[in-house]
Structure 1
Amino acid sequence: MMKLKTTILFLTTATCCNGIAVGQVYVEQQSRHRFAQTLVGLDLYSSRGGTTSFINASGNIEQLSLEPSFAPRVIIGGTHFWGHADFYIAIPLSNPTMQRSGQEITNSPGVETGMKIYPWRIEEKKIRPYVGTSLFPYFYSQDNSRRGDTFGPDKSYVRLPVLAGLTYNRGSHLLELGLTYKYNNEISYHISASEKTTIETPPLSFSFSYRYIFDTTLSAEKDWQSGETQALTKRLGNGGH
C-alpha cells in the first residue's frame, strides 16, 4: 500500500513538472485550448462529530463520542468551462484510527470523486465561493478489546455529501477552505454477534488544500488559429499527400 502511495506522489510530481504553468489563461480569451486546466496538490481532511456504542465489561451498552480525525490526501483534477467547474479525485494517504475506552475504531474516507461549481469563475487574486457534491465512500470498523472476543465487521458505505467552500487564486496556485456536510450520516452496525446498533458517523468535515495549476494544450492554440492543424489533418486524411 505504501509503495502504491509513493508511486502516486511520484507520478503527480512528474506530471506537474512537465506541464506549463500559465495561471488562468481563459481570462484573456475563451477558446477550446483554454477550456480546461490540470490541478494537482494535497489537502488535509478532518472529520468532526458522531457517536457510537459498545458493550462494556459488565455487558451493558455505552455510548462513545467519536474523536476528530485527520487524513492527508492527494488531489488530482482539473478546472473546466473556463474556470467555472472543478472535477477531481481525492486519494487518502492514511486511515485514521481512534483508541478509547477499550475500542479501536477506524472511520476513514475512501477515494472521493467530486465536482465543484463556481458561479463566478476562478480568477487571479480573487476569492471565489463554490458548491458541489461528490461520490464519497467511507470505511468503518470497531473492535472491542475489553471483551476480547468482539471484532467488529469492516463496513463500507457511500454517500453524496453537500460541498461548499472558498477558493483563492494567485498565479499558478490555488488555496482552498472546504466544508463537507454528510446529511445522511447514520449506519447500522453489529457491535457483537447478536447486538446491532445505529452509529452516527461524523456529519461535518473540513479541508484545507493547496493545488498547482498547469496547462498542456495552450501550445497548440497558435497552430489551430493559423489553420496549420486543419491542414495537417487534411493531409493525413489524404494519405500524407
Structure 2
Amino acid sequence: MRALFFFITICCLSSSVYPQKSRYRFAESYVGLATEFSPQQQTFSQIENGRIIHKDLPNQLHPRILIGGTHFWGHADFYLSIPLASFPLSGNKDATYSNNVITGFRFYPFKLKSQSLRPFTGLGFNRMSLQLANGPTYGNWQTFTEAGLSYRTKQHFILGVSAHYFPNTTFQTAIDREQFSETKLNNYTFSLSIKKVMDFSRSYESENNQRFFAKLKEELKQENKLNTYSVGLGWSAYIPLERSEHASRKPFFNDEIEGNVGLDMALGYYFHQTDAAIRLSYRRHKQEETAFDYSYSLNKQSLALEAFKFLFDFHGFVPFVGPFAARDYYHLNEKDVQRTVSDHKEESWGYGLVFGWDIRLSETDFFILRTNLRYNPKVDLKQNGLTYTSNAIEFNFIQLVFYPERWKAYKSLINQ
C-alpha cells in the first residue's frame, strides 16, 4: 500500500507540474544488465551425523537482466530486474538465497538527462527466498527501499550504482521435520548497472506522422473498425497473500507456498467510444514445495471473462479497472516418500478484480504494452476438512497486446 500511495502521489505531482509536456516524450524504454552483491555475516544450522552444526552463509553475486523505462519526462523509472544465476563467493554452498524477480519504481527529483549525474530514491516489490539443503524454499514477500546515482551518457546509456534495504530477512528454517532454527540474511545489497535507452515514440511527434495517424483513425472509422478485437500474450506471477490450512499443517513447509510464473493468454474486444474492453483470458499456475522427502503441488487453470473500463489518458498512461468471473480447475497432489497422500481434483467458479494500465502512443496503436493485476478472493475449497486455497494476486508486468485489424489498416495506408 505504501508503494501504491507513493506512485499515485508522483502521478498527481507530475500532472500538475508538467501539463505542457508532449505524450511522445513521456517515456523511453531500456534494456540492460546489473550485478547484485549480497554480503553475509551470519550462519545457518544443519544436522550432520545426528549433530546440529553451524555453517557460514555464503556471500553471493547475482547477475541480472533489466527491462524497463523512464517515465514522466525523466523523473521516474519503472523496471523489472530478472536474476540469471547466483555465484557464491565464500561460505557454505548448502545454503542458497535470492531476491528473485524485482519490480521497482525510482523517483528522480532532478530530471535525468544526457551527460548528467542524478540521485534517486525508490521502492520495490519482491520475494526474498532462502533454501537449505534438502529443505523447503522459504520466501518473504516484501516492499524494499533503495537509493543511488545514475549517469546518462551522450550515447544514451544509463550507468547506475544503488543500495537496497530489505526489511524482512529473518526465516524460521526447518533442520528436519521436527526441529527448527532462525536464519537471518543481511538487510542490504548493492548493485552496479548499465542500461541502453531506446526511444520508439519520438518520431510520432512530427507533423507528417500526426497527419498519418489522423488519416488512419478516419479510415478505421469509415470501415467501422474503431471497435476491434485483440490478442494478448504475457507472463503472470501467482502471489498468495496468506497461507492455506491444508499446506500449513506441515510445519516444516514455508507458510505461503509460492506460485510459479505462468503464461497469460487473452482474446479481447475493444469498444472505442466508451473506452472499455471485454476479454477472455487463460492462465495456468502451480504452487509446489518439496522438503525432507515430502512433496506438495497445487495446479490451477483459470478461464476468465473480464470487463474493464479505461479511466483516463495521462500522456499515454491509461489505467483501467473492472470485474471478472472465472471457471477454475484445481489438482492437489501430495506424496510422502513416494506414497500418495492426496490426489484431489475439483472445479469451481471464481471471481475477482482486474486492474492495471496501458501505455498508448495514439488512439490507433496496433501494438501496445499492458500491465495486468488480478485480485483473487479466497474460494472455500477443502480437502480432509482443511481449505487448500487462499487470497492471491496475479501480477503480469508486461503483456504484449496486438490489434490485427489496426495492423492491416496501417499496412494498407503505408502502401498507398
Q: In the alignment, does 2:122 pair up with 1:132? A: yes
Output aligned runs, 1:88-103, within 5 Å: 88-97=79-88, 100=91
Contact 2:123 2:145 in 1 (8 A): yes
- Which is richer in strand? 2
SS across alignment from 1:161: strand
Bigger relative CO (Cα 8 Å, ≥ 6 apart): 1
Q: Offset at 1:183?
A: 1.9
Output aligned runs, 1:206-221, within 5 Å: 206-221=190-205
SS across alignment from 2:151: strand
Q: Offset at 1:58?
A: 7.0
SS across alignment from 1:232: helix
Residue in structure 2 matched with residue 13 of structure 1 by the alignment: none
Match 2:75 to one of 67, 84, 93: 84
**2:44 aligned partner, one-letter code:** S
Distance in structure 1 (CA, Å) of the matches to 2:89 and 2:186:
13
Match 1:153 to one of 129, 136, 151: 136
Distance in structure 1 (CA, Å) of the matches to 2:89 and 2:210:
61
Match 1:73 to one of 56, 64, 86: 64
Structure 2 unaligned spans of 5+: 1-19, 225-416
Q: In the alignment, does 2:190 pair up with 1:190? A: no
Residue in structure 2 matched with residue 116 of structure 1 by the alignment: 106
Distance in structure 2 (CA, Å) of the matches to 1:216 and 1:58:
61
Q: Offset at 1:52?
A: 3.3
Relative to structure 1, the CA distance from residue 226 to residue 54 in structure 2 (aligned partners, 3 Å threshold; closer, same or farther) is closer
Output aligned runs, 1:7-86, within 5 Å: 30-55=21-46, 57=48, 61-86=52-77
Q: How many residues align?
A: 204
Q: Offset at 1:231?
A: 4.0
- Which is richer in helix? 1
**1:142 aligned partner, one-letter code:** L
Residue in structure 1 matched with residue 345 of structure 2 by the alignment: none
**Superposition CA RMSD, Å:** 2.4
Q: Mean Cα displacement is larger for which, 91-100 or 103-112?
A: 91-100
**2:21 aligned partner, one-letter code:** Q
Contact 2:32 2:67 in 1 (8 A): yes
Q: Offset at 1:201?
A: 1.4
**2:158 aligned partner, one-letter code:** L
Residues 158-183 of structure 1: per-residue CA shift (max 9 Å, x gap): 22111111000112110000111112
Distance in structure 2 (CA, Å) of the matches to 1:158 and 1:227:
48
Q: Offset at 1:219?
A: 1.2
Distance in structure 1 (CA, Å) of the matches to 2:76 and 2:66:
15
TM-score, length-scaled by structure 1:
0.76
Relative to structure 1, the CA distance from residue 214 to residue 57 in structure 2 (aligned partners, 3 Å threshold; closer, same or farther) is closer
Match 1:236 to one of 220, 225, 235: 220
Q: Mean Cα displacement is larger for which, 38-47 or 192-201?
A: 192-201
Contact 1:142 1:152 in 2 (8 A): yes
Output aligned runs, 1:153-192, within 5 Å: 153-171=136-154, 172-192=156-176
Q: Offset at 1:224?
A: 7.3
Relative to structure 1, the CA distance from residue 184 to residue 66 in structure 2 (aligned partners, 3 Å threshold; closer, same or farther) is same
Contact 1:98 1:106 in 2 (8 A): no
Distance in structure 2 (CA, Å) of the matches to 1:76 and 1:210:
11
Q: Percent identity, aligned pairs only?
A: 29
Q: Offset at 1:155?
A: 2.0
Distance in structure 2 (CA, Å) of the matches to 1:114 and 1:72:
17
Residues 182-228 of structure 1: per-residue CA shift (max 9 Å, x gap): 12211111022221111111211000000000111111111478544
Match 2:131 to one of 127, 131, 141: 141
Contact 2:146 2:162 in 1 (8 A): yes
TM-score, length-scaled by structure 2:
0.45
Contact 1:117 1:130 in 2 (8 A): yes
